[in-house]
Amino acid sequence: MDGHQPEKARAAKEDHRAEPASSTRSPPLPILPRERAAIFLLGFAAFLPLYAPQSVLPQLASSFSASPAETGAVIGATTLAVALSAPLAGPLTDRFGRKRSMLAAISTLVPLTLLLTLCGTLDELLAVRFAQGIVLPALFTGAVAYIGTRWDGARGASVTGMFVTGSAIGGFAGRFVSGLLADLAGWQSGFAALAVVSALCAVFVALWLTPDTARQTGSILSNLRGMREHLRDGRIRAVSLCGGTVLFSMTGCLSYLGFHLAAPPFELTAAGIGLVFLVYPLSATAPLVNSRLLHALGTGNAYRVAFGVCMVGQLLLLLPHLAAVAVGTGIFLGGVFLCQSLALGYVGRVATTNKGAAAGLYVCCFYLGGSLGAIAPGLLWKTAGWPGCVALVLAALSLGALMSLAMREGSRTAADPA
């Protein structure tokens, strides 16, 4: 134990530099309408390309003569890259300035998205999708840090809500536009349209978002060291692993839902599959009830209720009726959004030092789970089909609900490693 004390002391000093005391903050700043719009567009641009291929995966499988599992890797490649680069994004956006870093990320996504239209093999497509995932965390972490240092309290919560709303609309738009245009002019046309939309987002963010200054905060090494320290807290481990099961379930379900809907009895086109995702923005309103759940049930119970909502949605997806599938998708996504909102709030409450490293650890586990979820159900597809996919998702949700038993409020107990 004693041998770790110098290292802990250095980490504490770096935490102190990375998180200035609230007494040094400027007076509360007003929120300009153009800034609200810019924050919305940041969330929109971040999630526009992330899951966009989900509605055209059956077309990609046909174009490249690939299996569902191989095609599912188109989603898994991006989420894996997000998981790997997330711990680096926070220190880098701090060092170079958050607005500058976020604009660089959106501007890089434009040619990468256009490059998708030129891919002639599945391997080329996977390589470009991986590159997109490397860039995306600069938008996630940069936006959250920008909001946190510019506004706090009710103002900060209000602007964060704009980012979350933009994320939900962006996630829907990416799936919807790619599916709609795929039927009209092939899957490449959808990605070309998304590149144009991303370019417009970059222009308006550049015009509307107030510049910030570069900040000399903790290094990448200190951020990784902080993540290692947080791994010793059983509560942070639990919520991070729960997050992994949530995104495993989401990518596992939505990546293979298209294959299910393209087959009998539904036989939907890519545009029809995209229309099913109209429930996405409605489901994104679920986190509005999280404060009531927390007050009534406490963290662990609220989280398990959210997992239960996800399971109900999954069971509806087994019914051979399109209306039931649409409703089930909406209920499932509502539970997913509620889980994520509860988890992010929990990380912020229980991580008393180096909150950025704690958030980075959660995001890393979250997207690693998503990478596995994009591929694992496909391995069952040939033998078990859609019921096997649903069974695997239900098993992951059950595991997450079980791990949530370790999520407690307050300080670490003696049972947790120190």
Task: Summarize pLDDT for 315-358 with one digit per residue, the tens.
Answer: 999 999 999 999 999 999 999 988 887 887 788 777 777 666 78
pLDDT at 217: 60
pLDDT digit string (tens) for 189-239?
Answer: 999 999 999 999 999 999 999 988 766 566 677 777 777 787 788 888 998
Burial of residue 248 (CB within 10 Å: 0-12, 13-18, 19+) is buried
Residue 263 DSSP label:
S
Report whether 278 contacts 403 (CB < 8 A).
no
Residue that wins the pLDDT comparison between 89 and 392:
392
Mean pLDDT score across all residues of the chain: 84
Alpha-carbon separation of residue 384 from 6, 72, 217, 311, 373 (angstroms): 54, 16, 50, 19, 16
- pTM, full prediction: 0.81
How far apart CA 391 and CA 394 sit, in angstroms, is 5
